[in-house]
Amino acid sequence: MSVDQLPLPAAALDDAGRAAAGPYPDWFSKRRRGRSLIVNPLVPAVMVGLPVLVIIAIVIYPTVWMFYHAFHDTNMMSLFTRNWQAVGWDNFALVLSSDRFADSVLHLLRYLLFGACLQVLLGTALAQILYEVVQSNALRIVLLIVMVLPMMLPPSIVGVLWKFLLQADNGAFNHLLIKLGMLAPTDRIEWLDADLALWSLIIADVWQWTALPLLIVYSGRVSLPPAIYEAARVDGASRWLVLRRITLPMLKEIIAIAFIIRFMDAYKFVDKVYVMTAGGPAQRSELPVFIAFQKGIREFQVGEAAAYAIIIFVVAAILITLFLQYLKRVLKAQGIA
């Protein structure tokens, strides 16, 4: 309830609506406050109009432009000469039938499965360990800070960092493996080579982002009522049974939300790809968003890039709708909405 909806005591306003001497000072009167703010009838029009114009300029116009060009053969030349031809659904057919797109979708799936899922699994396990196993509060805080630190770095910096660490000849990672005796001193693992490039991206991303699901699940675990765990102790349930039958089912929704957040990030994952592998070698670590970026900004195949963007947008819209429906059901089940 905002302030002006609050019922005013009888003495504050007289019959004509003027402020009268009463328990509240003058500035609680609706009329006075209204007059003092709206000096000129243009003020509200300008205050609403400017943001609307900005949104039209940076969101609505480019979107309409993109949809228009998705159905034209626009490229760098035709953009300059301003003679593009309508080609119907050709751009979409081109994208959907290309191996490059199919590969990138497979890369994305692999990245989601081993990147986002692994982060959520690891985060959940770490949160559980942090809560159940670590007894000292001070140690718990220190560990939390240490684990959250990578999240504070810009993703592109993390990309550069890992590119250095994973260098085949003088990278720290190979050096570590050699020191540990897991690799012969003359051997090299080509981390950024065609076979491993996507896995290297996944390693770097897991390193950076595992702390987010960890934080979310940990805070969920902390908020579970302790009395339930005491009841389980009195009932004689083992730790494993408590975890399986009580803790995990109660954290189910929170884990799902952590996954949704990681999924949304993963779906638009482009920064580390750009910095670490540039989609290569031989397009073996490309993701759809990265191809759209390449096509549109690098090669100026505007029509094809627009088709990519629309396909990505439609899939994202469908997935987000499903997620929102799930969230709504969860909230309803918990009596929140």
Partner 1 sequence: MARVTLDTVNKIYPSRHGPVHAVQDLDITIEDGEFVAVLGPSGCGKTSTLRMIVGLETITGGTIRFDDRPVNELTPEQRNVAMAFETYALYPNFTIAENLGFPLEVRGVDRKAREAEVLRVARLLRIEDILGHKPAHLSGGQQQRVSLGRALIRDPAVFILDEVMSHLDAHLKLQMLFELKRIHQSMGKTMVYVTHDQMEALALADRVAVMSNARLQQFGTRDELYHAPANRFVADFIGEPPTNFFDAEVTETAGEIALAVPGTDLAFTTSPARVAALRNRGGKRAIVGIRPQNLFITPLDDAGSVTATVALNEYLGEQSILTFDDKGVSFRALAPPDADAKTGATVAVRYRPADVMVFDTDTEALVA
Piece of 37-45, 174-182, 233-241, 268-276 that binds partner 1 (CB under 8 A): 233-241
- 222 counts as binding partner 1 under rule CB under 8 A: no
Among 48, 113, 231, 331, binds partner 1 (CB under 8 A): 231
Task: Residue 319: name the closest of 56, 116, 65, 70 by CA.
Answer: 116
Close Cβ partners of 205 (under 8 Å, ≥ 6 residues apart): 111, 115, 119, 266, 269, 272
CB of 250 to partner 1, least distance (A): 5
Whose Cβ is closer to partner 1: residue 180's or residue 336's? Answer: 336
- 236 counts as binding partner 1 under rule CB under 8 A: yes
| Triad 43, 48, 50: Cα angle to 5° | 95
Can you state the angle between helices 302-333 and 61-70, rounded to 10 degrees?
Answer: 120
CB 219: neighbour CB atoms within 10 A?
Answer: 11
Token pair for 263: 């999924």
- 227 counts as binding partner 1 under rule CB under 8 A: yes
Token pair for 184: 């012969």
Q: What span, in angstroms and rounded, lies between the C-alpha atoms of 252 and 246?
A: 10
CB of 269 to partner 1, least distance (A): 33
Token pair for 234: 């009195």
Q: State residue 14 phi and psi, 5-degree precision.
A: -90, -170
Whose Cβ is closer to partner 1: residue 46's or residue 234's? Answer: 234
Piece of 12-20, 209-217, 244-252, 264-272 that binds partner 1 (CB under 8 A): 244-252
Whose Cβ is closer to partner 1: residue 170's or residue 238's? Answer: 238
Among 246, 264, 320, 327, binds partner 1 (CB under 8 A): 246
CB of 245 to partner 1, least distance (A): 8
Among 18, 35, 233, 328, binds partner 1 (CB under 8 A): 233
CB of 193 to partner 1, least distance (A): 47
Whose Cβ is closer to partner 1: residue 232's or residue 278's? Answer: 232
268-271-276-279 Cα dihedral, nearest 10 degrees = 40
Q: Which residues pair with 86 in a beta bridge?
A: 72
- 15 counts as binding partner 1 under rule CB under 8 A: no
Piece of 94-102, 124-132, 163-171, 246-254 that binds partner 1 (CB under 8 A): 246-254
Task: Compute CA 198 distance to the chain's CA centroid, rounded to the nearest angstrom.
Answer: 20
- Stretch (H or E) spanning 66: helix 61-70
Among 65, 230, 268, 317, binds partner 1 (CB under 8 A): 230
List contacts with partner 1 (CB under 8 A): 225, 227-228, 230-238, 241, 245-246, 249-250, 252, 334-335
